[in-house]
Every structure is written in C-alpha cells, then in structure tokens.
Chain A
Amino acid sequence: LAKTTQPISMDSYEGQEVNITCSHNNIATNDYITWYQQFPSQGPRFIIQGYKTKVTNEVASLFIPADRKSSTLSLPRVSLSDTAVYYCLVGDAPGDDKIIFGKGTRLHILP
C-alpha cells in the first residue's frame, strides 16, 4: 500500500483558495487518489477522487501531475465551515482490500 505524506496542519483565511499537497512516491499503477474530509466526532466524508491530470466537482479540484507521485487538493474560497481534517488516501482501486489512513492535514480557517 502506498504511503502518503501531508502537512500536519495549515491555516488560512475565509475567502482564500487553499491547496493541500500530498506526496505518494510509491503509488502503484492501478492506484486512485482519494481525499476525505472529517469534522470532529463525525465519519470521514468523501470529497474527490482522481487517477491523473485534473478532476473537479462542486466542492474541490484535484490536480495530479504526470508522474502521479503527488497530488494537490484545491478548495476554492474557503469558509469557516471548511475547518476540518483532510486525508489523502492512495489505493481504493477495484480489488484493493483495505485503506490505511495517514495522519491527515488539520486545516484551520480563520475569519
């Protein structure tokens, strides 16, 4: 299973764009990259998933360079309610038997 490395914490201000980068140097050919958001005392919530290049949905964008050894979650115009822990996971491809969570990035949005 590919290991991921993320910043432990980040601070930003309301209205700004926030980019969280995740390193996954040992990503396998069939691995997808998935990001989850977790609020205190809640289960993780799926944000976005991608395999290569760029993926965008109503919540975020995910940028994946050609070598796929890293990825960047981009949150446009954050608000206070985006304060949460964000986890980058690699794997989740069809047939994977389990996902191991890293430490995640604790994002704190300031007014």
Chain B
Amino acid sequence: GAVVSQHPSRVICKSGTSVKIECRSLDFQATTMFWYRQFPKQSLMLMATSNEGSKATYEQGVEKDKFLINHASLTLSTLTVTSAHPEDSSFYICSARDSQRGTDTQYFGPGTRLTVL
C-alpha cells in the first residue's frame, strides 16, 4: 500500500522552543494531508486539514498560530509546534489522501512522539 513517513519519530525539547514535524507521501501525490494528535489511551483527534497551495483548515479549539502548518508540495506537509509547553506533549500523526485512487483512502504516518520538558 501507499507509504507515508514522518520525521522525526520522537523529539524531546525544552519548554518555549519550537518543533517542526515533517510528513511525506513517498509514492503518491497528496493534495490533502491531515494532522492528528493522540493522547494516551485516547482516540486520534483531528487538528487540521492541510491543502497544498492554500492555507490549512483548523478544527475548532486548535490554535492556528501555535500549530503552524505548511503544505509546500504535493508530497510534503509540515507541522510546527511553536513555543511548546508540557501540555503539548503528545503523539502527532499525519495522514495523506491518495486522491488518484478511486476511493480516496487515507494512509497514516508512523507518528511522532513529542515530549516537552
């Protein structure tokens, strides 16, 4: 199946710093990518929809100035957590929609574990 990668797989940072997470679709083009956050023992929570060439659409309650999303190309979207705080510690997962397939299935990256000290 289609492959989506994320980098880094885990990151530890100090409070107040910014962290960038990359999401790449490796063997298909993705006009739309999604960013999710997952806390322990909970389901995935959609944060935003990233559209190539346009501004991201954020879900209610997600601060767009704190979670900056850039969808620079058809294979790359980045999520930057600005001025991270311990409460931002979570598992961040991206997905990419393969729009060339008939059913527009989403494929998920392996996730990035962010720990803010």
Contacts and interface: CB of A to CB of B under 8 A. Distances in A.
Say whether A and B bind each other.
yes
Interface of A: 32, 34, 36, 41-46, 49, 87, 92-104
Q: How large is the interface on B (under 10, 10 to 19, 20 to 34, 35 or more residues)?
A: 20 to 34
Given A46-B106, A104-B43, 14 more contacts: A41-B91, A43-B4, A43-B109, A44-B44, A46-B108, A49-B105, A92-B104, A92-B105, A94-B102, A94-B104, A95-B104, A99-B34, A101-B44, A102-B43
Interface of B: 1, 4, 6, 32, 34, 36, 43-46, 49, 57, 91, 93, 95, 99, 102-111, 113
Contacts of B32: 97
Given A46-B1, A97-B32, A97-B49, A41 B111 contact: yes
B43 A87 contact: yes
A97 B76 CA distance: 18
Contacts of A36: 108
Given A42-B110, A42-B111, A101 B104 contact: no
Nearest to B32: A97
A79 B113 CA distance: 28
Contacts of B43: 87, 101-104
A93 B107 contact: no
A32 B44 CA distance: 19
A86 to B, nearest CB: 12
Contacts of B105: 34, 46, 49, 92
Given A44-B44, A87-B43, A104-B43, A98 B34 contact: yes
Contact of B104 (A41, A46, A96): A96
A99 B104 CA distance: 11
B103 A92 contact: yes
Nearest to A45: B108
Contacts of A97: 32, 49, 57
